[in-house]
Amino acid sequence: MKIQPQYITNAAGEKISVVLSLDDYEEMLEDLAAIAERKDEPSVAFDEAIKALTKNRTCSIALYSSYIKLPGASSDIAEI
């Protein structure tokens, strides 16, 4: 999602409101609903997840790239 907000400013030029397209707003609501559904699930710190993934010196590129948002990464397993 590439949100392109528009800002409403006061006379001093300070941002006081934001305007989103209806599509962006609805997508944000969907994302928030998905997050709310998972709020009681246990979480793992990023550092701990990386330790677990790299324990045997292999890491799923798909998992790691989804975190750091690498474009075009495959789902192959690779040595790191």
Q: Is residue 63 part of a domain?
A: yes
- Provide the percentage of residues in the chain whose pLDDT is more than 90: 40
Confidence of residue 12 (pLDDT cuts 50, 70, 90): very high
Q: Is residue 23 part of a domain?
A: yes
The pLDDT value given to residue 80: 46
Give the integer Cα–Cα distance in Å for 9 and 19: 11
Q: Is residue 1 part of a domain?
A: no
Please state the domain count of the chain. 2
- Are 33 and 50 in a shared domain? no
- The pTM of this model reads 0.49
Confidence of residue 27 (pLDDT cuts 50, 70, 90): very high
Instruction: Give the model confidence (pLDDT) of 46-59 as tens digits.
Output: 888 877 777 765 55
Residue 60 has phi, psi (to 5 degrees) of: -70, 115
- Are 10 and 33 in a shared domain? yes
- Are 31 and 50 in a shared domain? no
- Are 50 and 74 in a shared domain? yes
Residue 79 has phi, psi (to 5 degrees) of: -70, 140
Residues of the domain holding 29: 6-37
